Each structure stands twice: as structure tokens, then as C-alpha cells.
Structure 1
Amino acid sequence: MKKHCFDTSGISNPLETMPEDIHESAWTKIKEKISSGEIAVTREIYDEMIHIVGTVGQCIKDAESELLLEVGEGDWDYNTYTAETVRMQETYADFIAENTGRAGTVGLNDISIIALAKTLKLPLVSMEVAVNNDTSRKRRIPDICKIEGVKHMTFSEYCRAENLKF
């Protein structure tokens, strides 16, 4: 059963600050979570995640069928997901990097994972920090999650929620 959605940064950023060769026990537990089927990602996010190196990256590649929810496959509500993705792309068009050319704002991949989390009614784990400024021309994952009523979590908050202690 899916329990969390992950943005790539939810794994890649902690790996940078907690390398798996030093924090082996932590990443062993995370790899178990990746393989268990508890984590959901979109095709766009999965395609980013497969570039993560080391045993964590290999685990992600090996767990494709456990992680990835494909549109048109399986028994999940991909019609609602598709509708949410289209709606969010329209609603947040003025903030999406591919539309505006601005760095430091949400991209289409971010919109896809937020739409998945909203559809599945699951928290979204990322390491992005909110802009928290309504006048800004930028939005990040936590900003859109807040507007959309999706719980946003950092990696540490995820570990606490899952009672992962290293």
C-alpha cells in the first residue's frame, strides 16, 4: 500500500549530505522502503531518480514496478491524476519554469508529483523550501502543496513519521 509520494530531491539531497558509505544503516532502511511498494512516483520523477548513483540508485532501478504508477496501468485512479495534472498546469502556468524561463520555481515534473500526491491523498516528500511570498513570481513544491492541501514533508519528517532511527 502506498504511504508517501517522493520528489527526486527527497532522496537525492539527503544522499548528498548523508552519503551511503558513511550512513549505511540509514540507507539500508530507505532501500527497504523503496522496495516495499510504500513509495509512489510518476514517470517524470522516476526518470530523474534513475540517475541517482550507488546502491540507492540501483535499488530505485530494481524497484521500478514498486515505485512507478503509470497512467493507464494498474488499479489506481489515473483518470483523476491526469485531470489534476492538467488543472494544475493551467492554474500554475505563470509559475512553471518551462513556461516562464525562470529558475528556482516549479517545473512540470514537480506539478506531476504534486498531482499524484493529491490524487492518492498522500504526503509528498521533498527537500525544497517554500518561497512563502505571495508576491513572488516563483513557487516551489511546498508552496503548491500548501495551496492544494497536500501535506509536504522533508526527509527528516518522513523518517520521523516512519519511525526510522539510525
Structure 2
Amino acid sequence: MNWAAFTTAAPDLAAIAEERFGAYRHHVLATLRKDGSPRTTGLEVRFQDGELWLGMMPNSLKALDLLRDPRFALQANPGADVGGGDVRVGGRALEVVEATVKGAYVEEVEPPQPFHLFRTELTEVVRTYVENEKYLVTQVWKPGEPVRTLKRT
């Protein structure tokens, strides 16, 4: 399921997630190394044409990780103020090689050339925040399911 489908299924959570990702330029991407251990690296993301895009330098380790195993987790940069909560997106990143798609991305973003471009398929979006300085609230969305809200003291 792409970002547009998530936005339709859970518009309030999608708006908060986009706001958290839009607040800062750099975020943290987790991928899997050849041996299965995790790798975390910085990354810029882009919301464009109903998709969440991941652009990367050619043959960067994170790009090679995703080409080998497309599973990822992406953590929005919380910055100094986590009042809006913590947002994480999980899914699969699929490389896009079609010239027309990459061309449309280049017109909007103007990345250094050459580059890898990945379109994301979401498997989970999670937001965690503190409510009324008393409750830890976690909102979880998965494709085909409504947003679940868990609250604990």
C-alpha cells in the first residue's frame, strides 16, 4: 500500500506523520546488512504524487541493502521538541528505474546524478506520544486495519 492509500485509510495519522517528517530534513533509515544485522543511516525523504520516496547515492550501503532485502524502518527526526510525538514507518522499498518516473522526481527534487530512487510500500505506521503528561499513547496502522490506539500510564 502506498502513501496515498494510507492517507485515505487514516487521514489524521497521515497528516501528523507528514508534519513530523516535514519538520526536519534528515531522518533515520534502518536497513538489513548482508549478515542480517541492522544498519541505521541518515536519509532525506520526499512525499510526491501520493508516494513516499527514498532517494540515495549510487551504490551507497543503504541502497545496496535495500536492493538485496527491501525491508526498512524509517524514523522521523524528533528534533529537540518531541511534543508532536515520535513517528515510524515500516515497509518495503522498491527501486524505480523507469525514466519517466525518475524524470518527474528529478524535476521536483533535483538530486545529484546518478541516484537510486525507491518507492515505498507501507506495512506499518506508528506514532507514540505523551498525552496530558500522564499517558503514553501509541497509534498503530497496518494495511486493511483501522488505526489502533493503545494508552497506558
TM-score range, shorter chain: under 0.3
Q: Which structure has greater strand proportion?
A: 2
TM-score (norm 1): 0.26
By relative contact order (CA 8 Å, sep 6+), the higher-ranking structure is 1
What TM-score results when the alignment is normalised by the length of structure 2?
0.28
More helix, by proportion: 1
